């Protein structure tokens, strides 16, 4: 059931014990919006905890509250007044949905959200879910502590490409400015999130050896089967690196994470990549989307390239 921002604020106000979660393989917006909401709710005297069913990248240790992010434990049931799922459809929160017994409030900015939660507040015009949490704090007449602001700013900055992507609006910039006024140290965030171990940088260099061009250079892709992935220390950030290649309109990375299971990330400069991702049960944004293809690597690659070819032809 879709609800309004005011109704969302009312649900949060009425609850005392609140569990906050986000998608597996969490990014800056998932973590930033979760921790930002946690800090705000705790300031209101509520019992708020972040629970994510995945490991949290160490680069986010610059965010206040990072060390308090928990993981669900099998068989340990948690009773709460509300489970708040941020930046995600419910099929991507892992076992949190099994261990937390509470009505589910879903807050998201992805236009492909499946609306499966008990309550959904969706605003696809926001650059990040963190921007929605910023609006909620304003709706609830709250103030931004430095801890809350640091986290929300991280979500805003990362999902907008550090305020460079087309989803950056005047409202996004105004939110960023107010969070800066609340004490955010942008250099601490950017320097922390830019850290990469030597092995990670070398892994990106190794992965780039598998880069290919398609459709007269309009599409660039890196396709890594499981055997190749095992020789690469890290390939995180690969799709954002190749999207900068001159003349390309679409960047795609496909990784065979395990047998008959491939994960896909896409970035576009014009093409609506949600139309490709939803064909494989995925979703995201018009310019950034992803999906999983549960087929052997050669078949997954062939089907993805066919879907891209069709989308490119329809755009022409």
The answer on 206 and 173 residing in a single domain is no
| Tokens 């103030």 -> residue | 143
- Asked if 113 contacts 127 with a C-beta cutoff of 8 angstroms, the reply is no
Residue 316 has a pLDDT of 65
The answer on 233 and 171 residing in a single domain is no
Residue 126 has a pLDDT of 97
- Asked if 129 contacts 5 with a C-beta cutoff of 8 angstroms, the reply is no
The answer on 202 and 180 residing in a single domain is no
Range of the domain at 276: 198-315
Residues whose CB falls within 8 Å of the CB of residue 179, separated by 6 or more in sequence, listed in order = 134, 144, 149, 152, 153, 156
The answer on 96 and 210 residing in a single domain is no
Q: How far is CA 274 from the centre of its chain?
A: 15
Separation between Cα atoms, residue 98 and residue 167, nearest integer Å: 34
Q: Which long-range contacts (CB under 8 A, 24 or more apart) does 102-108 make?
A: 102/19, 105/8, 105/11, 105/12, 107/8, 107/33, 107/132, 107/133, 107/136, 108/132
Phi-psi region of 32 (alpha: psi -120 to 50; beta: other; left: phi over 0): alpha
The answer on 230 and 118 residing in a single domain is no
Residue 143 has a pLDDT of 95
The answer on 307 and 240 residing in a single domain is yes
The answer on 215 and 183 residing in a single domain is no
CATH number of the CATH domain containing 61: 3.90.1640.10
Residue-wise pLDDT tens for the chain (316 aa)? 999 999 999 999 999 999 999 999 899 999 999 999 999 999 999 999 999 999 999 999 999 999 999 999 988 999 999 999 999 999 899 999 999 999 999 999 998 898 999 999 999 999 999 999 999 999 999 999 999 999 999 999 999 999 998 899 999 999 999 999 999 999 999 999 999 889 888 989 999 999 999 999 999 999 999 999 988 877 888 998 999 999 999 999 999 998 899 999 999 998 999 999 999 988 888 888 999 999 999 999 999 999 999 998 887 6
Count the domains in the chain. Answer: 2
CATH number of the CATH domain containing 219: 3.10.310.30
| Tokens 């329809």 -> residue | 314
Residue 315 has a pLDDT of 76
Residue 75 has a pLDDT of 84
The answer on 120 and 18 residing in a single domain is yes
The answer on 170 and 58 residing in a single domain is yes
The answer on 154 and 21 residing in a single domain is yes
| Tokens 């300031």 -> residue | 43
């Amino acid at each position: 059931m879709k609800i309004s921002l005011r109704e969302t604020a009312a649900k949060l106000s009425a609850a005392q014990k609140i569990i906050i979660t986000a998608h597996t393989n969490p990014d800056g917006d998932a973590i930033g919006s979760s921790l930002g909401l946690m800090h705000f709710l705790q300031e209101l005297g509520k019992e708020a905890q972040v629970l994510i069913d995945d490991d949290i990248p160490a680069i986010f240790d610059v965010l206040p509250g990072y060390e308090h992010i928990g993981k669900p434990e099998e068989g340990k049931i948690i009773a709460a007044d509300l489970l708040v799922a941020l930046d995600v459809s419910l099929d991507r929160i892992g076992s949190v949905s099994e261990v937390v017994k509470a009505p589910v409030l879903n807050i998201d900015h992805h236009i492909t959200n499946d609306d499966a939660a008990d309550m959904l507040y969706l605003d696809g015009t926001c650059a990040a879910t963190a921007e929605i949490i910023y609006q909620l704090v304003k709706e609830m007449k709250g103030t931004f502590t430095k801890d809350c602001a640091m986290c929300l700013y991280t979500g805003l900055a990362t999902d907008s490409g550090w305020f460079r992507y087309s989803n950056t609006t005047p409202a996004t910039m105004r939110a960023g400015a107010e969070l800066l006024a609340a004490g955010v140290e942008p250099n601490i965030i950017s320097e922390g999130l830019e850290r990469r171990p030597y092995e990670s940088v070398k892994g990106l260099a190794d992965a780039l050896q598998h880069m290919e061009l398609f459709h007269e250079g309009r599409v660039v892709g890196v396709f890594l089967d499981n055997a190749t992935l095992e020789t690469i220390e890290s390939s995180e950030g690969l799709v954002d690196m190749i999207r900068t290649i001159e003349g390309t309109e679409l960047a795609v990375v496909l990784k065979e994470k395990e047998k008959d299971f491939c994960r896909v990330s896409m970035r576009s400069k014009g093409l609506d990549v949600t139309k490709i991702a939803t064909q494989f049960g995925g979703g995201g944004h018009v310019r950034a989307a992803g999906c999983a293809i549960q087929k052997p690597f050669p078949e997954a690659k062939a089907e993805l390239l066919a879907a891209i070819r069709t989308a490119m032809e329809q755009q022409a």
